[in-house]
Amino acid sequence: MRERASAPYGGLSRERLSHLTHVLRGYVERDEIAGIVTLIHRHGVQAYVEAIGWQDREARIPIQRDTLFRLMSMTKPVTAVAALTLVEEGRIRLYDPVDSWLPELAQRMVMRDPDGSPEEVYPAPRSITLHDLLTYRLGIGWGTSSLWPEIFALMPYPPRLEQEERLDPDAWMARLGALPLVYEPGARWLYQVASDVLGVLIARITGQPLETVLRERIFEPLGMVDTSFWIPPEKRSRLAVLYAKAATGELTVADHPQSTGWAEPPLFPSGGAGLVSTADDYQRFGRMLLGKGELDGVRLLSRKTVEAMTTDYLTSEQHNHPFFAFDRYDADRSGMWTNRGFGYGVAIRTKQIGLGPSVGSLSWPGAFGTLFLVDPQEHLMATLLLQAGSANPFYTQVGEDFLTLTYQAIAD
C-alpha cells in the first residue's frame, strides 16, 4: 500500500520526516484521500519521496511514484514559462499590445459598473499587453461581477467533465471577445481566463499547437516524459482515479481511467488547467525554477527572466481585494494577498506566516489537491499530488500539513 523509494538527505531529518509520512498516511487510513504522492528535493538532492494509498481505491490498485495526476491550475506556471521563452527570443515584448495576435481582444469596451449592465460601457484607455496576461490583469476573469456566469461557462474542461459545450480556441476567443471587460487592463487581478488566453497567444505567435510548443520548449529539454494534455492508451493504467468529496465527506468517483475526459487530445488545450503529469516530471519543472532557469545543464530561461517571473506586481490597492470567492486562504485565515503577491503565473510569498515557506517562495495549487512549492532560501522544491476535489482548492488541510511538516524536518 505504500512505497518508500529512497532515504532522505539534503539537511532534512529522517526522524522528523517520519512525522510527515505518519500524517499523510492518516488521511488515507481515514478515507479522506485515496492516495498521495510527495517528492522533495533540497540542496540539489532527492530528500524525500512517498507514495501512500491507492491509485484506484475501489480496485485496490496501489498508487505509485509514476502515477499520473490531473494538474489543473498547476498548468498555469508552465504556460507562463512558455510565454517567457518567446520574450527571450524577441518574438514578443512584455509590454507589447496583443492586438495583432488576438484581434478578438482589440479595442475593448469596459463595463462602467462590474456589477451592473454589460451594455453600459466605455472604451478601454489602452490595449491589453502580454504583461497584463502574465499577471492576470487583462480586465476579465473569475471574480464577482454580473458577467460571472458567462465567464465561468468558458472554462475549457476536458470532455465529459462539467462541460456543456466544446469550443476550439478560435471559437472560444470569439465568445470571450463578445464580452466587455469587467475592469480596465491593469486595474484588477482576476483568475483563470488570462492563462487560457495566454495559451492561445503562444500558439498563434509560434504557429504551432500549444502542446507542441510546451513539449519542444519545456518537456523534452527537461526530460518531462509523462506530461501532456491527454493520456495515450499505453499510459492510461497509470492514471489516478479522480474523486469528489460529497457533503458527508465521502469520496465518490468523478473521473475514471476507463472513461476519462483526458483520453483524447482536447479540442481546446487549456493553458490554465489542462495538463496531466507525474511527481517526478513536475519536480523537474520546479527545480528548473529553483535553479534560476537551469536544471542539469539545460537552461530554459535566464536568471533575470526568472527574477522577473517571481516579482510581485500587485499594487497596494490590488493586495486589498479578496481572491475570487476564497477570501480566506491560509491556516491563520488571513486573506490570500495578505502574505503573498503575484508574479508571472505564480504566487510569491511576501511574509512568512508561522512554520512555513520563506519570503520569496513561489507556489501554486491545483483544484484537485495538487501543490508545488519552490523555496530559494531553503534550496527546496516540494510537490504534493492527490486527486480529490475541494470546496476551496486554494487552502486544504492536507496542503497545510504537508508544508508544516516539511519545514519542521529541516535540521541544518
Average confidence score pLDDT of the chain: 92
Mark 236-255 as b/e (b = at least 16 C-beta within 10 Å).
eebbbbbbebeeeeebeebb
5 pLDDT above the threshold of 80:
no
Q: Phi, psi at residue 350, to the nearest 5°?
A: -105, -15
Alpha helices in 264-358 (DSSP H): 279-290, 303-309, 316-319
Question: Which helix (H) or strand (E) covers residue 349, if one does?
Answer: strand 347-349
Instruction: Read off the C-alpha cell for 384.
Output: 504534493
Give the bridge partners for 41, in sequence order: 46, 381
* CATH code of domain 81-211: 3.40.710.10
314 against 354, higher pLDDT: 314
Report DSSP state, residue 365.
E
Spatial CA neighbour of 49 closest among 408, 406, 362? 406
Contact residues for 307 (Cβ-Cβ < 8 A; gap 6+): 292
Average pLDDT over residues 368-385: 97
211 pLDDT above the threshold of 50:
yes
Instruction: Read off the C-alpha cell for 150.
Output: 458567462
Contact residues for 18 (Cβ-Cβ < 8 A; gap 6+): none
pLDDT band at 4 (very low <50, low <70, confident <90, very high): very low
Instruction: Read off the C-alpha cell for 225.
Output: 516524459
Which range of 8-22, 212-226, 257-271, 319-333 scores highest in mean pLDDT? It is 212-226
Average pLDDT over residues 133-149: 94
Give the bridge partners for 111, in sequence order: 121
Average pLDDT over residues 217-230: 98
Average pLDDT over residues 289-318: 97
Mark 267-295 as b/e (b = at least 16 C-beta within 10 Å).
ebbbbbbbbbbbbbbbbbbbbbbbbbbbb
Q: What angle do CA 75, 76, 82 make, to 5 degrees?
A: 95
**pLDDT at position 9:** 78
**pLDDT at position 155:** 85
**pLDDT at position 349:** 95
Asked if 373 and 385 touch (Cβ cutoff 8 Å), the reply is: no
Quickly count: other Cβ atoms within 10 Å of residue 142's Cβ.
19
Length of the chain measured in residues: 412
Using DSSP's 3-state secondary structure scheme, residue 109 falls into strand
**pLDDT at position 29:** 97
- Would the CA dihedral through 8, 10, 14, 19 be positive or negative? negative
338 against 128, higher pLDDT: 128
Instruction: Read off the C-alpha cell for 378.
Output: 531553503
Report DSSP state, residue 104.
G
Q: Phi, psi at residue 143, to the nearest 5°?
A: 160, 170
pLDDT band at 393 (very low <50, low <70, confident <90, very high): low
The Cα 107–Cα 291 span in angstroms is 40
CATH superfamily entry for domain 8-74+224-409:
DD-peptidase/beta-lactamase superfamily (3.40.710.10)
The Cα 243–Cα 188 span in angstroms is 33
Give the bridge partners for 374, in sequence order: 362, 381
Q: pLDDT of 272-302, one tens digit each?
A: 999 999 999 999 999 999 999 999 999 999 9
**For the residues of 212-266, what is the DSSP string, one character each?**
HHHIIIIIHHHT-TT-BSS--GGGGGGBPPEEEE-TTS-EEEEE-GGG-TTSS--
Asked if 127 and 98 touch (Cβ cutoff 8 Å), the reply is: yes
The Cα 293–Cα 306 span in angstroms is 6
> Start-end ranges of CATH 3.40.710.10 in the chain?
8-74+224-409, 81-211
**pLDDT at position 326:** 53
Contact residues for 303 (Cβ-Cβ < 8 A; gap 6+): 292, 293
Spatial CA neighbour of 197 closest among 223, 181, 176? 176
Average pLDDT over residues 181-202: 97
Pairing of strands 276-277, 61-62: unpaired
